[in-house]
Amino acid sequence: MCGISGIIANRPAGVLKDSVERMTGKLRHRGPDAGGIFQEDGVALGHRRLAIIDLSSDANQPMRDASGRYILVFNGELYNFRDIKLMLPEYNFRTNSDSEVILAAYGKWGTRCLDYFNGMYGLAIWDRQEKSLFLTRGRLGVKPLYFRHDGDSLTFASELRAVLAGMDQAPRLNKNGVLNYMMYQSACAPETPVEGVQQLMPGEYAVFKGGKLEQHLYWNIEDARHIEPDRQAIHKTVRQLLTESVQRRMISDVPLGAFLSGGIDSSTIVGLMAECTAQPVHTFSITFREPDFDESRYSALIARRFNTRHTPILMQAGDFLNSFPDALRAMDNPSGDGFNTFLISRVTKEAGITVALSGIGGDELFAGYSSFKRWLALRKHWIWRIPTALRSTAGLVLLAGNSSKFERIAGLTAAPTPGIEYIYPAIRQVLTLHRAKKILRCQDECHDMMYELLAARKKGFSKLPVLSQYTAAEMLGYTFNVLLKDTDQMSMASALEVREPFFDYRLIEYVLGIPDEIKYPRYPKSLLVESLSPLLPDEIVHRPKKGFTLPWNQWLRTELRQWCQEKLTGLAQRPEFNGDEIGNIADRYFNHAGNNNWMPVLQMAVLEDWIERNLP
């Protein structure tokens, strides 16, 4: 796991090198083991390395291929690099790294090398002969890649703040990115909170040559093939694909462990890890004294069952609050989530672990959220039998209720169809488009990016089973924009690489094609549990589900009240925002005037803190 950066521009060599040095400096936390810069006329590439595979200095980057034509900077892991290496017998390998395999594969197959890759990555390859740059991001977008195309120049990096460090002009706030942050806890890709800076989408590559940038999707999540409803065969294949995914993600030349909450997903990963190795698995869990939050009984049960080297970490309110400033500094993008990942990543790294496997993604893939059943129910609701005009009129009445709940219902009642592009945003929104526009001074220039993405891909989504349509929306929505982004930025703040076996693209393609009658969760994630049976004990499968939530409602009104009020005051004074609306929200919240919705309050405070740090 690493950090990459680069600039292709018609600037003096010294200026380019200085700019990329600043950019790589911003990425030092991602790669404390080594750093390097490649520079020649019109191009400079930077790299910070967290050594995972082949710890020798020969595997440092930027890396040249054997011919000297191609220069690589790479962030991530290519899990099947050994398999691909066997397909390249003609190449004279100098290292045992996955990085050199990428170079050799690109030299042989060009952009078609992506057809062979199974991993998480953001990478760039400079072609010294063609004077072109190849940029790409993995199929699920696990690893980030930001860029700014400005005229004849291109700036890119693993983190947004590194791109800002390489810009030759003052950055400005992107209103539409901020609007979607207020709605969904994150700016929706390809946009960011900064004007002119974008992200590559999952499964996308780009070629920059002669000042022109061409972007292409090489993988679509909705292209899964239909799976025949043979329950026994499906169970066997799911287990095989998930086991192979875990095996690949256990390849490491540094100490490796796993996060263990004691839920179905993390217990599954730990159980399969134990089957894949003769050595005890190192597991880590956060525990609490408060029974409403504590899951230590379940994590300890799994640790005993699979004979892991278990480290329970007792956390108290003071531990979270004391680390809060560090977590804010770790944010490359503003987020209303991810603080728990910051904490467990820090203590795991301090315990000597460099790579940790995580169970995130199981809920999205195996219909673990209650929202899956809400999606099914809303599609068949009697309200869709009412003419659209009448439903729209009813929606206007609900808007007069002046609450987020009524606004979401109003949006649904006015929708022309019960399509995924209408229902998914309504389920996932923290604030509606109507309410977010009240906070931000924007009207026609601001729009709902999540709705537009799903509407544009509606035809492909419609080919999927109904439950898988919601999975695909989750993967492109909350999972990609919030869950994976926060996991990356909060774990890499401690130079900890997190690997997620549920995000193996072969597993996802297969599960998305499974018919609803088999995927339907008769009990929590029944398809996953039955595919792995008897791996998990009944105490884990049928335990009450607990979300890892922090008592923000209490903290924002007590220990964090002064910080929060100061940040809201600062945001209200910015010309892009409606100060009166922010003031009203703050007054109602802190005076308990029927407003206990802490999430928008926290999001606005975090946003102001992020702006102060990054857009002075």
Cβ atoms 212, 141 nearer than 8 A: no
H-helix or E-strand containing 357? strand 355-357
Q: What is the DSSP letter of 373?
A: H
Q: How many CA atoms lie within 13 A of 208 on its CB side?
A: 24
Indicate the residue type of 355. Answer: V
Q: What is the DSSP string of 44-73?
A: EEEEEE---S--SGGG-SSEE-TTS-EEEE
Indicate the residue type of 156. Answer: F
Question: 3-state SS string over 157-199?
Answer: ECCHHHHHHHCCCCCCECHHHHHHHHHHCCCCCCECCECCCEE
Q: Could you tell me which of 454, 444, 448 has the C-alpha nearest to residue 474?
A: 454
In whole angstroms, give the CA distance from residue 192 to residue 198. Answer: 6
Tokens of 433: 């488009």
Cβ atoms 45, 185 nearer than 8 A: no
Cβ atoms 306, 537 nearer than 8 A: no
**Of residues 2, 113, 188, 446, which has the active-site annotation?**
2
What is the distance of C-alpha 164 from the center of its chain? 20
Q: What is the DSSP string of 451-480?
A: HHHHHHTHHHHTTS-HHHHHHHHHIIIIII
Sheet of strand 2-8: strand arrangement = 34-40, 43-49, 2-8, 153-157, 146-150, 198-199
In whole angstroms, give the CA distance from residue 321 to residue 404. Answer: 29
To the query of whether residue 2 is one of the catalytic residues in this protein, the response is yes
Tell which phi-psi region holds residue 514, choosing left (phi > 0), alpha (psi between -120 and 50) or beta.
Answer: beta
Catalytic residues: 2
